[in-house]
Amino acid sequence: MPQLDADRLQGTPGNPTLLYFLVIFLFCLFGLRLWYLQVYKGKYFDRKSRDNRIRRYSIYAPRGLLRDTHGKLLAENQPSYALSIVREDCPDIGGTLEQVARWTGIPQEQIRTEYERGKKRVRSFDNQILVPHITFEQVAVIESHAIEWPGLRILVRPKRHYAKGPLMTHVLGYVAQADEEELNGDPTLALGDNIGKLGLESVLENVLRGVKGRREAEVDASGRIMREKVVSPPTAGQDVGLSIDLGLQEVATRALAPQAGAVVVLDPDTGKVLALVSEPSYDNNPFVDGIGVEQWRALLGNTRHPLQNRSIQSTYPPGSVFKLVMAPCGLYNHAVTPEKTVYCPGSYRLGNRVFRCWKRRGHGRVDLQRALVESCDVYFYKLGEELGIGAISRFAKSCGFGRPTGIALPHEKSGLIPDSSWKWKRYGRPWQKGETLNVSIGQGSVLVTPLQVAVYISALVNGGRIIQPSLLKQNPVISNGFLPFGDKIRERILDAMVATVKDPHGTARRLRMEGCRIGGKTGTAQVVNLQEKYEKKETHEIPYRMRDHAWMVSFGMKGDKKYVVVAMVEHGGHGGSDAGPVVRAVYEYLFAGKDLCSTDA
Amino acid sequence: MILHVNWVFMGTTVVLLGLGVLNLYSASALRTEGGVLLDPYYQKQLMWGGAGGCAMLACMLFDYRHLKSLAWPMFVISMLLLLAVPVFGKTIYGARRWISLGLFNLQPSEIAKICVLVLGAKCLARIPEKLDWRVLIKVMFIGVLPAAFIVKQPDLGSGLTVVLLLGGMVLYKGVETKILKASLLLGPLLLPFGWFFLHDYQKQRILTFLNPGRDPLGAGYHIIQSQIAIGSGQFWGKGFLEGTQSQLSFLPEKHTDFAFAVFGEEWGFLGAMVLLVLFCVFLYQIVMTSQEAKDNFGSLLCAGVFFYFFLQILINMGMVLGLMPVVGIPLPFISYGGSASVVNFCLIGLVLNVSMRRYVFKK
Identify the pLDDT of residue A1. 37
Residue-wise pLDDT tens digits, B113-157: 889 999 999 888 888 777 778 888 888 888 888 888 888 777 778
Is the model's pLDDT at B97 over the cut of 90? no
- Best of B70, B122, B234, B311 to disrupt the A interface (most A CBs within 10 Å) is B234
Residue-wise pLDDT tens digits, A350-402: 888 888 888 888 888 999 999 999 999 999 999 999 999 999 999 999 999 99
Question: What residue of B is the nearest CA neighbor of A226?
Answer: B33
Question: What residue of B is the nearest CA neighbor of A217?
Answer: B33
Whether the CB of A19 is below 8 Å from some CB of chain B: the reply is yes
Whether the CB of A17 is below 8 Å from some CB of chain B: the reply is no
Is the model's pLDDT at B325 over the cut of 90? no
Q: How far is B57 from chain A (nearest CA, A)?
A: 23
Helix (H) or strand (E) run with residue A159 in it: strand A152-162
Pairwise CB contact (< 8 Å): A19 & B235: no
Pairwise CB contact (< 8 Å): A220 & B227: no
Is the model's pLDDT at B305 over the cut of 70? yes
Residues of chain B numbered 130-169 and touching chain A (CB < 8 Å):
none
Question: What residue of A is the nearest CA neighbor of B247?
Answer: A220
| B245 close to A49: Cβ distance less than 8 angstroms | yes
> Which one of B126, B227, B310 has the shortest CB-CB distance to A22?
B310
- Best of B65, B242, B250 to disrupt the A interface (most A CBs within 10 Å) is B250
Residue-wise pLDDT tens digits, A333-363: 998 998 899 999 988 988 888 888 888 888 8
Local structure of residue A408 (DSSP, 8 states): S
Q: How far is A143 from chain B (nearest CA, A)?
A: 26
Pairwise CB contact (< 8 Å): B249 & A35: no
Q: Which residues pair with A227 in a beta bridge?
A: A218
- Best of A1, A38, A47, A224 to disrupt the B interface (most B CBs within 10 Å) is A38
User: Which residues lie below 8 Å from residue B14, measured CB to CB, with a gap of 6+?
Assistant: none
Question: Using a CB-CB distance cutoff of 8 angstroms, which residues of chain B are in contact with residue A53?
Answer: 244, 248, 250
Question: What residue of A is the nearest CA neighbor of B281?
Answer: A23
Q: How far is A54 from chain B (nearest CA, A)?
A: 10
CB pairs under 8 A between A and B: 168
SS3 A130: strand
Is the model's pLDDT at A4 over the cut of 70? no
Is there a catalytic annotation at residue A421?
no
Pairwise CB contact (< 8 Å): B299 & A31: no
> Using N-to-C axis directions, what is the helix angle for B296-320 and B259-292, rounded to 10°?
160
Residue-wise pLDDT tens digits, B253-285: 888 888 999 999 999 999 999 999 999 999 999
SS3 A264: strand
Whether the CB of A147 is below 8 Å from some CB of chain B: the reply is no
Residue A321: closest CA among A508, A504, A486? A508
User: Which residues lie below 8 Å from residue B332, measured CB to CB, with a gap of 6+?
Assistant: B16, B309, B312, B313, B340, B344
User: What value does the mean pLDDT take over residues A322-340?
Assistant: 92
Identify the pLDDT of residue A531. 47
Greater pLDDT, A532 or B43: B43
- Best of A30, A36, A54, A89 to disrupt the B interface (most B CBs within 10 Å) is A30
Query: Which burial class, exposed, middle or buried, applies to A533 when counting CB atoms under 10 A from its CB (0-12, 13-18, 19+)?
Result: exposed
User: What value does the mean pLDDT take over residues A35-39?
Assistant: 92
Identify the pLDDT of residue B1. 64
CB atoms within 10 A of CB A431: 19
Question: Using a CB-CB distance cutoff of 8 angstroms, which residues of chain A are in contact with residue B220?
Answer: none
Cα separation, B53 vs B353, whole angstroms: 14
Residue A256: closest CA among A552, A21, A458? A552
User: What value does the mean pLDDT take over residues A229-254?
Assistant: 92
Q: How far is B350 from chain A (nearest CA, A)?
A: 17
Cα separation, A271 vs A339, whole angstroms: 34
Whether the CB of B221 is below 8 Å from some CB of chain A: the reply is no
Cα separation, A114 vs B209, whole angstroms: 36
Cα distances from A430 to residues A247, A423, A523, in angstroms, run: 50, 7, 28
Question: Using a CB-CB distance cutoff of 8 angstroms, which residues of chain B are in contact with residue A219?
Answer: 248
Considering the candidates A80, A84, A311, A320, report the single residue annotated as catalytic. A320
Greater pLDDT, A110 or A450: A450
Whether the CB of B227 is below 8 Å from some CB of chain A: the reply is yes
| A53 close to B250: Cβ distance less than 8 angstroms | yes
**Dihedral pair phi/psi, residue A179, rounded to 5°:** -90, 180
Helix (H) or strand (E) run with residue B284 in it: helix B259-292
Cα separation, B26 vs B233, whole angstroms: 14
Question: What residue of B is the nearest CA neighbor of A15?
Answer: B172
User: Which residues lie below 8 Å from residue A10, measured CB to CB, with a gap of 6+?
Assistant: B125, B126, B127, B128, B296
Q: How many degrees, rounded to 5, is the angle at CA A194 between CA A193 and CA A199?
A: 160
Residue-wise pLDDT tens digits, A213-224: 888 888 877 767
- Lowest-confidence region among A43-52, A99-108, A123-132, B198-207: B198-207
Identify the pLDDT of residue A329. 94
| A446 close to A529: Cβ distance less than 8 angstroms | no
Cis before B188? omega within 30? no
Query: Which burial class, exposed, middle or buried, applies to A428 when counting CB atoms under 10 A from its CB (0-12, 13-18, 19+)?
Result: exposed
Is the model's pLDDT at A11 over the cut of 70? no
User: What value does the mean pLDDT take over residues A239-252?
Assistant: 93
> Which one of A18, A39, A45 has the shortest CB-CB distance to B171?
A18
Decide the pairing of beta strands A225-232 and A213-219. antiparallel
Is the model's pLDDT at A426 over the cut of 70? yes
> Following DSSP, what letter does each residue of A482-549 receive, concatenated?
E-SS-HHHHHHHHHHHHHHHHSTT-TTGGG--TTSEEEEEEEEE-SSTT-GGGTTS-GGGS-GGGSPE
Cα separation, B246 vs B173, whole angstroms: 43
Identify the pLDDT of residue A597. 40
Strands (E), A360-412: 364-366
Residue B247: closest CA among A53, A42, A38, A41? A53
Cα distances from B64 to residues A16, A163, B70, B73, in angstroms, run: 21, 96, 10, 16
Identify the pLDDT of residue A242. 93
Pairwise CB contact (< 8 Å): A34 & B227: no
Residue A440: closest CA among A503, A520, A345, A355? A355
- Lowest-confidence region among A98-107, A184-193, A592-601: A592-601
Question: Using a CB-CB distance cutoff of 8 angstroms, which residues of chain B are in contact with residue A39?
Answer: 234-235, 269
Cα separation, A552 vs B272, whole angstroms: 87
Is the model's pLDDT at A583 over the cut of 80? yes
What do you get for the CA distance between the two ends of chain B, in Å? 16
Pairwise CB contact (< 8 Å): A18 & B172: yes
Residues of chain B numbered 84-123 and touching chain A (CB < 8 Å):
none
Residues of chain A numbered 35-74 and touching chain B (CB < 8 Å):
35, 37-39, 41-46, 48-50, 52-53
Residues of chain B numbered 265-324 and touching chain A (CB < 8 Å):
268-269, 272-273, 276-277, 279-280, 283-284, 287, 290-291, 293-297, 299-300, 303, 306, 310, 313-314, 317-318, 321-323
Pairwise CB contact (< 8 Å): B248 & A53: yes
**Dihedral pair phi/psi, residue A514, rounded to 5°:** -75, 145
Q: Which residues pair with A566 in a beta bridge?
A: A264, A553
Residues shown for chain A:
601
Is the model's pLDDT at A576 over the cut of 80? no
Identify the pLDDT of residue A254. 93
Mean pLDDT over the full length of chain A: 87
CB atoms within 10 A of CB B108: 27
- Best of B122, B242, B269, B310 to disrupt the A interface (most A CBs within 10 Å) is B269
Q: How far is B309 from chain A (nearest CA, A)?
A: 11
Question: Using a CB-CB distance cutoff of 8 angstroms, which residues of chain A are in contact with residue B301?
Answer: none
> Which one of A5, A26, A37 has the shortest CB-CB distance to B231?
A37
User: What value does the mean pLDDT take over residues B172-181?
Assistant: 82
Is the model's pLDDT at A48 over the cut of 70? yes
Cα separation, A591 vs A235, whole angstroms: 42
Cα separation, A460 vs A454, whole angstroms: 10
Which of the four pLDDT bands, split at 50, 70 and 90, describes residue B34? low
Task: Give the range with max mean pLDDT: A196-205, A586-595, B338-347.
Answer: A196-205
Pairwise CB contact (< 8 Å): A16 & B231: no
| A433 close to A333: Cβ distance less than 8 angstroms | no
